[in-house]
Amino acid sequence: MIAIGGAIGVGLFLGSGSRLSQTGPSLVLSYLVCGIAAFFVMRALGELVLHRPTAGSFVEYAREFIGPWAGYASGWMFWLNWAMTGVAEITAVGIYVEYWFPDLPQWVSAFAALVVLLTVNLLSVRLFGELEFWFAIIKVLAIVAFLVVGLGLVLSAAHIGDDQAGLHNLTAHGGFLPSGVGVALLSLQGVVFAYAAIEMVGITAGETANPRKIVPKAINSVVWRIALFYVGSVLLMVLLLPWNAYSGLQSPFVTVFARLGVPGVGAAMNAVVLTAALSSCNSGLYATGRILRSLAQRGEAPSFTGRMSRRHVPYGGILFTSMVYVIGVVLNFYVPHQVFDIATAIASLGVLSTWTVLLVAQTRLRKAAARGELTRPAFRMPGSPYTNYVVLAFLALVVLMAGFDPVQRYSIYALPVVALVLVAGWRLSRKHRSGYQCRTADADDAKELATEH
């Protein structure tokens, strides 16, 4: 439920509306292709988790199978993903609240959401788990309701406002590819962002009672549920209304229900998508707190981020991430209409790097097993290593296409800056660890000398 709760966020509930208005009905194929890639990434993660369950998740797997530098880089890229995703989520909260209070500044709602979620995460892990479970339940029930109602409207060819639901919406209004193949390819990075957080299963495995039994079931169920919810929902959106009826200023779910003309339905759905944004941001604070603690324990993050409370809450990492969310609140004050696109574009870099690390680490695990150094778990990635190479090539295509999109181009601009910061941070952390080891060795020598005397 945590994985589903994290994955079903603004990428689907808000971002899909903007992408539909740009791409058209072909967005369904984009979600399908990215969903297939996500399936193989999840199965690679599953094999790694069953090899060695750990709360550090893919950071530890990157360190074990690729190298220390890979663990460091993947941990910080995962943090970048969730830090920027959190900015997007609290921005979405501000957009949703405007549905009821159009005169309320967007940054006020974003700041209020940050305060509530920060409080919840700092109190206890149990409270986070309970809240996230119910958040996820609300989202799942809402999507199921949308799928059932939407399917009924399509089958009955019902009128929704001035438009009629039906298969004709797939090809009407400019065709299946109204903006061309190029624009459809440009949508891939945004769609990959929508699938982000499915790897949360790996993060939570270290705090699960019986991961070897639970994780395979969780991974398989998450994959098909996410595929059904994402592909099914986007397909129904296209069938229910013309693709140009949607926009990035309102959740497409709200657009559909508001046009039904039933009093209060649009407002109810807006409340649901509001909880969806809170849920995903809640997951981000949880995950980054644990990843930063894992990095801090190895001297690869500021020591403050490794601090743990008596209730086993890594409050240092959570507070560190929340500082970025505060910057997001400030951006909501100055550039409220651009901050969502900027945040999701940069966050996509973290998603792509995380998926790449998982695929590469799984191939290294497979090679180590072939050399007799370890035993591969029974739960394996299908088609490996060939499926690894295909998905890695697909991810490279996604990065390449981002350079041609004026919105996603923010990620390309950020890439060299992120790379320089990672290199500088890695060298600094190595120097710090070396100095620490030398001081420890000197202290040990002094103790031994004092003992002899």
Concatenating the DSSP letter of every residue in 234-289 gives: HHHHHHHS-GGG--TTS-HHHHHHHHTT-TTHHHHHHHHHHHHHHHHHHHHHHHHH
**CA-CA distance, 33 to 159, in Å (whole number)?**
31
Q: Is 173 left (phi over 0), alpha (psi -120 to 50) or beta?
A: left
Helices (H), 175-251: 181-186, 188-194, 200-204, 211-240
Q: Which residues pair with 159 in a beta bridge?
A: 164
Q: Per the omega criterion (within 30 degrees of 0), is the bond before 385 cis? A: yes
The set of residues, in sequence order, having a beta carbon less than 8 Å from that of 26 and lying 6+ positions away, is 176, 177, 184
Provide the token pair at 441: 């060795």
Helices (H), 335-375: 339-370
Residues in the chain where the model's pLDDT stays below 50? 436-453
Which pLDDT belongs to residue 228?
Answer: 81
Q: Is 157 left (phi over 0), alpha (psi -120 to 50) or beta?
A: left
Distance of CA 97 to the CA centre of its chain: 22
The set of residues, in sequence order, having a beta carbon less than 8 Å from that of 25 and lying 6+ positions away, is 169, 170, 171, 176, 177, 178, 238, 243
Q: Which residues pair with 164 in a beta bridge?
A: 159
Which pLDDT belongs to residue 207?
Answer: 62
Per the document, the length of the chain is: 453
Which pLDDT belongs to residue 5?
Answer: 61
Which pLDDT belongs to residue 450?
Answer: 46
Q: What is the DSSP letter of 159?
A: E
- Give ∠ CA 69-75-81 in degrees, rounded to 5: 135
354 touches 86 (CB < 8 A) = no
Provide the token pair at 29: 């194929």
**CA-CA distance, 172 to 151, in Å (whole number)?**
19
The phi and psi torsions of 164 (rounded to 5 degrees) equal: -115, 135
**CA-CA distance, 51 to 381, in Å (whole number)?**
12
Which pLDDT belongs to residue 3?
Answer: 61
Which pLDDT belongs to residue 201?
Answer: 67
In the chain, DSSP finds a helix count (H) and a strand count (E) of 18, 2
